[in-house]
């Protein structure tokens, strides 16, 4: 399967209701926030994790669609797979020819390596890959106002903790965003795709993941998260035909009314201008 031949950018909108889309471990797991503007943040790493999880569920270790970055993975074990498959001996670990061969094998077998890239030069050397798909941080359209909710625990973990039934109820805290609409920009380079083998089939799977990843990521902590809008800009060439920031500016998100706090997607109006360059196609996938 040949690599994609067009450059892409995209604007992705998702929202959260009564949940924590991305907790900050340095702030007691409070929702991530820009302290100067109070706009909410969701890291690219968080979004990539959900994409990886969707691909793993959807493809179920199908050949060519394994996931490199998995929970509690020992990455050097996966590097060793490449070396064994290519009959690379430990003493030849660092030769440029063998590193290139191992890098190609990793791209061919692991979806997230050929999509997002990876540093695989630690220990068993498989080189480094610069991925064609990159995501920025997601930022909320408006400031968010996190709430701290008190919760109670009705049970204890061990009987020796207490024999007093009244003391078996303990207090806890849960942090939520009542509502937040988040916007993220993404970039897909055809030139980098040539180096990793990122194909049209891979691209189609990526769009599927953006549309469906929240459907398989439900938890009490994250509340209700929904993919709301995916606007894709397809250039007619591999290099591109317009600056990305100008294409992003053609997607406007505005509040319909400021009389009350936003509590649903219906409180916003999303407008997509079709008056962009003639050699850049605008596609509304969601």
Token pair 């498989």 is found at 126
pLDDT for res 217: 87
Average pLDDT on 250-272 reads: 93
158 against 46, higher pLDDT:
46
Give pLDDT tens digits for 5-30: 999 999 999 999 999 999 888 888 88
CA distance 261 to 185: 25
pLDDT for res 128: 92
CA distance 31 to 178: 11
List, in order, residues 6 or more apart from 34 with CB less than 8 Å away.
Answer: 40, 41, 139
Q: Which of 240, 111, 101, 130 is nearest to 193 (CA)?
A: 130
pLDDT for res 94: 73
18 Rama class: left (phi>0) / alpha (psi -120 to 50) / beta: left
Give pLDDT tens digits for 27-49: 888 899 999 999 999 999 999 99
249, pLDDT greater than 80: yes
Average pLDDT on 234-247 reads: 94
Read off the pTM: 0.90
pLDDT for res 167: 61
CB 39 within 8 A of CB 144: yes
Model confidence at 220, in pLDDT bands (50, 70, 90)?
confident
Q: Average pLDDT over the chain, rounded to whole?
A: 90
208, pLDDT greater than 90: yes
Percentage of residues of the chain with pLDDT beyond 90: 63
Give pLDDT tens digits for 70-97: 888 888 889 988 888 888 887 677 788 8
């Amino acid at each position: 399967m040949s690599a994609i031949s067009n450059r892409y950018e995209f604007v992705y909108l998702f929202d959260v209701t009564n949940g924590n889309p991305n907790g900050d471990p340095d702030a007691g797991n409070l929702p991530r926030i820009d302290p100067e503007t109070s706009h909410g943040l969701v890291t690219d790493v968080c979004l990539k994790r959900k994409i990886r999880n969707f691909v793993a569920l959807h493809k179920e270790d199908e050949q060519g669609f394994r996931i490199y970055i998995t929970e509690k993975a020992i990455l050097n074990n996966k590097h060793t797979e490449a070396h064994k498959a290519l009959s690379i001996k430990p003493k030849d670990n660092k030769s440029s020819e063998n590193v290139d061969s191992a890098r190609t094998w990793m791209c061919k077998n692991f979806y997230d390596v050929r999509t997002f890239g990876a540093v695989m030069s630690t220990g068993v050397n498989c080189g480094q890959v610069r991925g064609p798909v990159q995501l920025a941080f997601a930022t909320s359209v408006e400031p968010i106002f996190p709430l701290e909710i008190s919760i109670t625990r009705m049970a204890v973990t061990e009987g020796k903790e207490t024999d007093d039934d009244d003391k078996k109820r303990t207090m806890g805290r849960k942090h939520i965003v009542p509502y937040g609409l988040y916007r993220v920009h993404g970039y897909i380079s055809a030139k980098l795709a040539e180096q990793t083998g990122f194909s049209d089939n891979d691209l189609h799977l990526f769009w599927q993941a953006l549309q469906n990843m929240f459907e398989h990521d439900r938890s009490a902590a994250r509340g209700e998260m929904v993919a709301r809008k995916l606007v894709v800009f397809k250039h007619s060439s591999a290099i591109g035909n317009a600056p990305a920031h100008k294409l992003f500016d053609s997607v406007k998100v505005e509040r319909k009314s400021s009389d009350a706090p936003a509590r649903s997607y219906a409180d916003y109006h999303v407008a997509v201008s079709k008056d962009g360059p003639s050699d850049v196609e605008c596609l509304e996938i969601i």
